[in-house]
Amino acid sequence: MRPYFFGPPERQLFAVHHPAQIAGRRHGAVICYPWGHEYVNSLRGCRQLAARLARLGMDVLRFDYYGTGDSAGQGEDASLSTCVEDVVRATEELVSSCGVRTVSMIGVRWGGCVASLAATLRVELENLVLWEPVVAGRTYLGESRARHAAFLASERQAAYSGPHEIMGFPLPPTLVAELEATDLSSIGRSPAPHVLLLGDEQDETGRAQRAFGARLAALCDDFDHRRLPGQGIWIREVGQERALVPTSILDAILEWFTSRLAAGDQSAPHAASNRT
């Protein structure tokens, strides 16, 4: 595991590279994190996922978007469009530094939205895993604000909370406007030939994900929608001190990638490149 910074001096992004533990596959994966408090709660699970993918023979890069985590910038600088650019840059970094021939992405929540947009616009992927992705930005904002209000009520923090934040993380107007205009269920092209969608929400989020899944099924060569309930690691209850590691979902992702890598080993190499 190697932590480092990449990107131009004025826009350094923090990353951690998990080297492939099996030589010769030349397959890489970029993990796209959730945003805000969901990032904090899911970091442990994402770290374990990266380690397990590396043991399969994949070079894995996980990184912080600009204005988040240990990357340069302030929280107020974050936006959907800049995060998409960061994903493109992270993919370029993975290809150039590790020499991988094929690229996959795993997008968790907000990261699923960002990965889907990057893949349909700029990045050529072989495989895409979407782990309960944010599909409808307006719904995501509403749920996040409701969770924030519940947190304030339970923690008696209302007097210390600003009007443009969620759980202590800035929510700049540009980001709000971008999210309100985002709905992946009307996506116009396939983000990757092979897509795995994970999620079992029964509320409005679940309805949006099912609509997105129907769209992906029509667009993708190979689409798999698996419903695995009760594993929302990004939602930490009040008083819960340790982040959860959702073993069943990690196992499902590893099983899917094992079959995909086996299929790739038997076929001709698919060159990783950026779309023009």
Q: What is the pLDDT of residue 267?
A: 57
Q: What is the pLDDT of residue 269?
A: 44
Q: Supply the angle between the helices 173-180 and 80-98 in degrees, to the nearest 10.
A: 90
Bridge-based pairing of strands 102-108 and 127-131 is: parallel
Query: Which amino acid is residue 12, in one-letter code?
Result: Q
Averaged pLDDT in 10-residue chunks for the chain of 276 residues: 96 98 94 92 93 98 96 91 97 96 96 96 92 91 80 58 68 90 92 92 74 93 84 51 72 95 64 48
Residues 43, 33: contact at Cβ < 8 Å? yes
Give the DSSP H/E element, type plus range, for residue 170.
strand 169-170
- Alpha-carbon span 34 to 55, nearest angstrom: 23
Q: What is the pLDDT of residue 94?
A: 98
Q: What is the pLDDT of residue 235?
A: 55
What domains can you pick out in the chain, each with its CATH number? 2-265 (3.40.50.1820)
Q: What is the pLDDT of residue 198?
A: 92
Query: Which amino acid is residue 149, in one-letter code?
Result: A
- The Cβ of residue 90 has, within 10 Å, a number of other Cβ atoms equal to 25
Residues 4, 19: contact at Cβ < 8 Å? no
Q: What is the pLDDT of residue 268?
A: 42
Q: How far is CA 54 from the centre of its chain?
A: 17
Give the DSSP H/E element, type plus range, for residue 19.
none
Q: What is the pLDDT of residue 238?
A: 43
Produce one character per residue of 107-135: b if its CB has 16 or more CB atoms within 10 Å, e if not: bbbbbbbbbbbbbbebbbbbbbbbbbbbb
Q: What is the pTM of this model?
A: 0.88
